[in-house]
Amino acid sequence: MNMAGIVAGLRPYVLGLAGIAVLTAGWAVVAAAELLDGVPPPLEVFSALGEQLTGAELWRATGHTVAVTASATAIATVIGVLVGAAIGMSAMMDRLLGSTINTLRFVPPVALIPVVLLIMGFGSGSEIVVGTFAALWPVLLNVAAASREIKSRFEDMTRIQRLGPVRKLFSVYVPGTVAATITGVRVAAALALILVVAIEMLAVPAGLGHQVRFAGNALQLPTMYAYIVWTGCVGLLLNSVLQATERYLRRP
């Protein structure tokens, strides 16, 4: 590769780093000039983050939040693929379930938090239920749309093969909608993470959301900001992994 090629290849990284540097410098100025109350300087935040990264608490909280988010996303994926394929496959199922789905999916998932807490208490179970409710719709709707397309293309073939509805579901529709599923899962995981962090901040005393809230209530501001930055990194990593998986599954 010639010099110009290397420079062009590096350009996005250099620009991106410069952007982050400008943002951090702006933050440092705001903190140093005390333009806003309660904004610690970046140096303190990053040293707090370093301190947390070497301790056990941050990793325990991260493990909890990631495990709960992953469980919720996995449950939502199984339900979403089965129900989505069923309503894409059969007009009857669509009529039976369609209106209920279209009502429930617009209910803001945070609204469920108080009810779920009443029924299930302040544990991981509540987190998983609320996360699953939020994560269900992107998977379900993506799979339903993809199954409708499969139906219009392959319905005659499945009829010739005399496949029963259950065989049809598992041998044609579920494998045929893998790419649509993973797109749904990427959106679903992001939503599940938001809801899991939210319920941790509001009620369940565990995970990253609890750490942010706890540090905030104790007015340990550098620690609170360290956890916010860390939560963003976890979200970014989760998103990148799923995006790479999606690209791999959708490769031509």
Partner 1 sequence: MGRRDGSGMGHLANVLIRLVLPAALIGLWQVASTSGWVNPVFVPPPDRVARTGYEMLTGGDLIPAAAATTGRALLGLAIAIVIAVPAGLVFASSRLADGLTYPAREFFRALPTVTIVPALMVIVGPGESLSVLAVVFGAVWPILLGTILGVRETDRVLLDVARVHRLSARRAVVKIRLPAALPQIMTGIRISLAIALVIALVVEMMSGHGGLGSMVVEARSRFRNTEVFAIVAVIGVVGLVLNALMVRIERRTRHDVPA
Q: Show the site string, 113-152: x = touches partner 1 by CB under 8 A, - = not.
A: xxx-xxx---------------------------------
Task: Please count the CA atoms within 13 angstroms of the CA of 221 that sit on its side-chain side.
Answer: 10
Stretch of residues binding partner 1 (CB under 8 A), selected from 53-61, 73-81, 112-120, 163-171: 112-120
Nearer residue to partner 1 within complex by CB, 106 or 162: 106
Q: Show the site string, 23-42: x = touches partner 1 by CB under 8 A, - = not.
A: x------------xxxx---
Both tokens of residue 113?
A: 């938090």
Question: At which residue do the structure tokens 């989760």 appear?
Answer: 238
State the Cα–Cα distance between residues 48 and 55, nearest whole angstrom. Answer: 11
- Residue 85 near residue 173 (C-beta atoms within 8 A): yes
Nearer residue to partner 1 within complex by CB, 173 or 227: 227
Measuring CA to CA, how many Å separate 37 from each of 18, 33, 47, 228? 27, 10, 20, 17
103 is an interface residue for partner 1 by CB under 8 A: yes
Nearer residue to partner 1 within complex by CB, 105 or 154: 105
Measuring CA to CA, how many Å separate 22 from each of 11, 29, 114, 233? 16, 10, 41, 19
Task: Please count the CA atoms within 13 angstroms of the CA of 9 that sit on its side-chain side.
Answer: 6
Smallest gap, in angstroms, from Cβ of residue 108 to partner 1?
A: 5
Write the burial class of residue 200 (CB in 10 Å: 0-12 exposed, 13-18 middle, 19+ buried): buried
Smallest gap, in angstroms, from Cβ of residue 66 to partner 1?
A: 12
Query: Where in 212-251 is the site for partner 1 (CB under 8 A)?
Result: 212-213, 215-217, 219, 221, 224-225, 227-228, 231-233, 235-236, 238-239
Catalog residues that contact partner 1 under the rule CB under 8 A.
11-12, 15-20, 22-23, 36-39, 91-92, 94-100, 103, 106-115, 117-119, 190, 193-194, 197-198, 201-202, 208-209, 212-213, 215-217, 219, 221, 224-225, 227-228, 231-233, 235-236, 238-239
